[in-house]
Structure 1
Amino acid sequence: MKPLKKQYIGFVCGALLFIGVDHADAVETKEVYNRFSDVSVTSEFFDEIDSMFYKGVISGYKNGGNYLDKAEFRPNQYVTRAQASKMISIISGYHPNTQENNDYNDVPESHWAHDYITQLTLDNIVSGKENGSFKPEDTLTRAQAAKMIVHAFDLNKTYQGTSFYSDVPSDSWYAPYVNALTEAGITTGRTADRFDPFAKVTRYQLAAFLDRAYNQVSVDEMNTRQTLLIAIETVYRLESMTGYHRQQGYLDGAQPVLPAFDTFQNDIEPFMTENYLPTLESVYGKSCTQCSVQLFETQLNPDRFIEFSTKNDDTIQFETATFGEHNIQFKLVRDNGEWQLDGYSAGDQTSRTTQPGIRQ
């Protein structure tokens, strides 16, 4: 357990997910923009859900048209096999396969999850039933989730000891996967001696499993898309926080006024370095309360392979990379375990011009 436990003050209240919270010796308090109306910032699983949302692995159910409007996460809703295939594809950095078809009799090319299921099948991460079906709309069980995650992250299945749980027989098909997940610290079971392998997996449980599995991969071992998830999360957090405060200038008065940058600077400092702060402050000052200008190009899905100039557990940097119509220069550094933006610029691919810190 980390010696420092963050304590969050959220912007929303209501019917929330409250699940036991670990208490640590020291407490740091900061304000955070909570995107969900039904997940408490004090939930034991808030950090995992929050991280998976900002990485684009799992989304919410919108209650409004504005991208800043609160959404429902529905943490206790069960996950289908199709939904899990999409989430695992994204967090594993797999590119959805659009050139191949699968042999399942219930996953046609028109199915929304066809490409995710097909790619995971080709990579032997998922498999179907004996009758040739995949059952995409069936709810995922905890045993099935364990198998998918172990294969996706190539976890060690060589554990030879006694099963960790009384309801996971050593000779069962799922024992190697459940034990691997437990040995890696991704799950501790439903109780000290029960895993409940055939229970249905909920959205908050899968978010927690995937976040823990992802965090065990070192940056130098990550593939391109996995690495870009770190960049996506960082800029999306900054975008959301600055957007939230910018919007308050429109909501709080009849005459829109852009809130002063220093009124919320402390809330966004965890996500950027001192070097980058003046740049963001300058860009923010040119934005408005009623427009939908984005400070960053957050759709960081590469059109082709990216050659990183630096990619390790301390620094991530690519000098030039093409994302859609933009050339982006990007640098992240890690401070006390947290990734922070240290450099960013995006320019038009045709003109080759760039402007620090803003989407053109």
Structure 2
Amino acid sequence: MEIEQNFSDIHNEFWAKDEVTQLVKMGIINGYPDKQFRPALEVSRGQAANLLSQALGLPDAPYRPIFKDVSSKSSHLRGAMSTYKAEIFLGKEDGTFGVADSLTREQMATVIVRAFKLQDTGEEIQFKDQKRISESHRDGVKILAQHGITTGKEDGTFDPKTAVNRATYVVFLHRAMVKTDKITETPQISFKKAGTYGNFKPVRHEQNFVEVPVSKTDKTYLRSNAYLQLTNEKTKKHSHSTDTVYTYSIAGMSPAVVNVTKRQLENGDYFIFTELRNPQRLPITVDLIQSESNVAKGIVRTYDRYPIKKNADGTFGFDMTTYPTGVFEKTLAEGNKAQKMIGKSFRSKELSLKYKNGESSHTRELMDESEAFSGILLGDTVLSVYTLQSQGYDVVDHWLLLSDQQLFSSNQQMDDWMHESAIYYKKRNKWYTANGPYNKMATTIEPMPASGRGYGRNLLLVKEDRVMGKYNETQERYYESLLYNSFANLDIFKGDKTYWETEVTSTYLKNLFGITAPFVDTRFNEQIALFLYNGGKAFGHSDYNRGLINYADLLVSQKSKGNIIKVDANSYYIQDYFPSKQNVKTHTSMNHLLGGMNILLLAYKETGKPIYLETATSLQSAIEKDVTKWIRPNGDIWYKMSPNRTLVGEDYVHLTLEDLIHSYEMWMDVDPSKTAVFERMIRSKAGYMNKNNKGYTTKIKNGLERIGMPQLLPAGLEHTDAL
């Protein structure tokens, strides 16, 4: 008889598969939540009593304070009381039941003889180690052998003092039930081959489980060889998602904890972020386990079909990270398909540097990125295991995005994203946490570990511009869910402020101006405001312009705060950076300047408030008065203006042209008389790029077409991301 395999460690080659399968089906014994039976685990006296009471259908017996180690709330209460009443287990001389003591083979013989009322047939049976059998159990061992329930070991011994494991106990129990006509032995079975994913291996030793209530349909557990206990549960609402955080302590490992965050998105999908924090020396392994039923088929499409060509550069050094594991697609029995994106595990150490002003800079040293996922399909149940391994004094992160629908509408759409992620691996988020994604930081940050593997939360990557572009292009559910997640991460990063401050110090800025984290980077805030504005409009959010207005107000206030470079009474530049606690002047770069001006114009178009137009006009006037200074002799644009109004630095390859085109469009809508200076700079910058074969971005190509200047498209390759 061929049936579905029920446990990952009970297979066709296992000697007790028939007995285990029959008693499990009858509900006499169960496996563990991770779909393992663990046949080699020793059986305790308490467990043996529970199993016997179940097998015999013994009536419940009321609690009596007979045994010191059995309370009215004990998990072994029913087994201990009912088997004691039936005179199967009699307890120990010290007044305990011995619920936690291992059941020995000789004790097993005695309790089975008593339980099934087996009688002495008079046959004389001796084992080679007869003298080692306790006198109180000799009759039990003999009678068990008389009835053929045991034949002893192959060497002629009984091995009376050895502890009984789960498989052996089930086999002896099964034989006794068949012998006494309690059950009919089923025909020999054969299992259908189970499908596995990744490097799936059963964990044979004892484990502790705690259920994490993240789903109403599927089961999710934490598994560890240490005891896990829920210590806190809290819920936090974001603009368009809700986080529920479950915190578990790890017994004997204090203050180590596991945080499991379920981020419920407005579209019904949800993330699970698992974080193992281990601020001590001892290593810890914790597995997140998912058990999903009603599955007819499961396949994994992995990113590693698209190899990454790794390289280091002078700005960021070498990036260890790659891409997520891939998409697991399950086909349900009724034919519907659902997908989940599986991330890898990231082990890191938190770094911080405190300054005299009381502020600090925060980074992480990435120790390793590793494959966390493995799984097995048993019948109609998929078991997925995500392993977090701590070596001590570290933090281990893992993430999942789950949907009851398809994240990608076709394999082609999925493959396109995976291929793009391999090409642009440095600019695609893959290390997600409940507090935002971590990415390789420039080598000019502090604290920077000696290894050079400094990672942090880069605000430009917390907002997912490329994902927004892909969503607008394809409407794929995966991008929609990533955008909801990005909205939440930006909300968390911002905290109770109305703007965003960096949490990492740039030594480049520190050396120039003495600035340390936290500080406001105008470019970051401009792009976040636009991201939330465009995303909010695309999703129909009522608060779509909140970030835009807040940032426009911040820009307006900089004149009164003195964070400007003055040209004349009505013309000035706003500095690129506003330090939190340091009163210093910083430079103005053209791309920051244009971005801020564009935000002010958009805020004016949204609200009609004159102050936004007035401030934007002051910036436009400053550029117009200094335009001949900004344009370099070779036609390119200078990168920045210092507080003393000197111009220096190599400009970005593509980025500033994107901004100039946008500024031209914005002024064309508000006041076309202001556009001449931007057209002049567009022609100059584009001409320089064309002569030097710098290529262009998709944004530049589309933008030049919109403003009627497609002939200015620079020669060279098209790029997805600006350089």
The one-letter code of the counterpart of 1:57 is I
Residue pair 1:104, 1:133 contacting (<8 A) in 2 also = yes
Whole-angstrom distance in 2 between the partners of 1:255 and 1:143: 50
2:164 corresponding residue in structure 1: 201
Question: For the aligned residues, what is the CA RMSD?
Answer: 3.1
Return 5+ residue gaps in structure 2 as ranges: 187-291, 301-328, 336-378, 380-403, 405-723
Q: Deviations over 1:222-254 (max 9, x none)?
A: 5xxx79x99xxxxxxxxxxxxx99630687977
User: Which residues in structure 2 correspond to 1:210-229 (within 5 Å)?
Assistant: 210-218=173-181, 222=182
1:73 corresponding residue in structure 2: 37
Q: 1:46 aligns with which of 7, 11, 17?
A: 17
2:126 corresponding residue in structure 1: 164
1:61 corresponding residue in structure 2: 32
1:103 corresponding residue in structure 2: 66
Q: Please state how far the C-alpha of 1:257 moved relative to its aligned partner.
A: 5.8
Secondary structure at 2:130 match in 1: coil
Residue pair 2:296, 2:331 contacting (<8 A) in 1 also = no
Residue pair 1:141, 1:199 contacting (<8 A) in 2 also = yes
Q: Deviations over 1:33-77 (max 9, x none)?
A: 1111112223221101111111111111122xxxxxxx1111111
**Change in 2 beyond 3 A, CA 1:122/1:32:** same
**Change in 2 beyond 3 A, CA 1:201/1:172:** same
Secondary structure at 2:67 match in 1: coil
Residue pair 2:295, 2:331 contacting (<8 A) in 1 also = no
Aligned length: 204
Q: Please state how far the C-alpha of 1:157 moved relative to its aligned partner.
A: 2.8
Secondary structure at 2:141 match in 1: helix
1:112 corresponding residue in structure 2: 75
Residue 135 (1) aligns with residue 183 (2): no
Q: 1:149 aligns with which of 112, 127, 140?
A: 112
**Change in 2 beyond 3 A, CA 1:122/1:194:** same
Whole-angstrom distance in 2 between the partners of 1:128 and 1:254: 50
Whole-angstrom distance in 2 between the partners of 1:186 and 1:153: 12
Return 5+ residue gaps in structure 1 as ranges: 1-29, 64-70, 231-243, 260-266, 268-289, 291-360
Whole-angstrom distance in 2 between the partners of 1:61 and 1:80: 16
1:8 corresponding residue in structure 2: none
Q: Work out the percentage of aligned pairs sharing the same amino acid.
A: 28
Residue pair 1:158, 1:176 contacting (<8 A) in 2 also = no
**Change in 2 beyond 3 A, CA 1:256/1:122:** closer
User: Which residues in structure 2 correspond to 1:253-268 (within 5 Å)?
Assistant: 256=332, 258=334
Q: Please state how far the C-alpha of 1:81 moved relative to its aligned partner.
A: 0.4
Secondary structure at 1:174 match in 2: helix
Greater alpha carbon shift after TM alignment, 76-85 vs 130-139 = 130-139
Secondary structure at 1:72 match in 2: coil
Whole-angstrom distance in 1 between the partners of 2:297 and 2:64: 50
TM-score (norm 1): 0.51
User: Which residues in structure 2 correspond to 1:1-360 (within 5 Å)?
Assistant: 30-63=1-34, 71-97=35-61, 99-159=62-122, 161=124, 163-169=125-131, 172-218=135-181, 222=182, 247-248=295-296, 256=332, 258=334
Residue pair 1:159, 1:179 contacting (<8 A) in 2 also = no
Whole-angstrom distance in 2 between the partners of 1:254 and 1:134: 47
Q: Deviations over 1:240-298 (max 9, x none)?
A: xxxx9963068797775648xxxxxxx9xxxxxxxxxxxxxxxxxxxxxx9xxxxxxxx
Residue pair 1:186, 1:209 contacting (<8 A) in 2 also = yes
**Change in 2 beyond 3 A, CA 1:119/1:33:** same
Q: Please state how far the C-alpha of 1:94 moved relative to its aligned partner.
A: 0.9
Secondary structure at 1:134 match in 2: coil
The one-letter code of the counterpart of 1:93 is G
The one-letter code of the counterpart of 2:295 is Q
Whole-angstrom distance in 2 between the partners of 1:76 and 1:122: 30
Q: Deviations over 1:284-339 (max 9, x none)?
A: xxxxxx9xxxxxxxxxxxxxxxxxxxxxxxxxxxxxxxxxxxxxxxxxxxxxxxxx
The one-letter code of the counterpart of 1:90 is Q
Secondary structure at 2:174 match in 1: helix
The one-letter code of the counterpart of 2:147 is A
**Change in 2 beyond 3 A, CA 1:156/1:258:** same
Q: Please state how far the C-alpha of 1:191 moved relative to its aligned partner.
A: 2.3
1:297 corresponding residue in structure 2: none
The one-letter code of the counterpart of 2:53 is S
Residue pair 2:49, 2:80 contacting (<8 A) in 1 also = yes
Residue pair 1:168, 1:174 contacting (<8 A) in 2 also = no
Secondary structure at 1:248 match in 2: strand
The one-letter code of the counterpart of 2:43 is V
Secondary structure at 1:138 match in 2: coil
Larger Rg: 2
Q: Deviations over 1:154-178 (max 9, x none)?
A: 01135352x3312124882211111
**Change in 2 beyond 3 A, CA 1:48/1:256:** closer
Whole-angstrom distance in 1 between the partners of 2:45 and 2:121: 26
1:307 corresponding residue in structure 2: none
Whole-angstrom distance in 2 between the partners of 1:36 and 1:50: 9
TM-score (norm 2): 0.26
Residue pair 2:123, 2:146 contacting (<8 A) in 1 also = no
The one-letter code of the counterpart of 1:72 is Q
Q: Please state how far the C-alpha of 1:85 moved relative to its aligned partner.
A: 0.4
Secondary structure at 2:71 match in 1: coil
The one-letter code of the counterpart of 1:168 is Q
The one-letter code of the counterpart of 2:128 is S
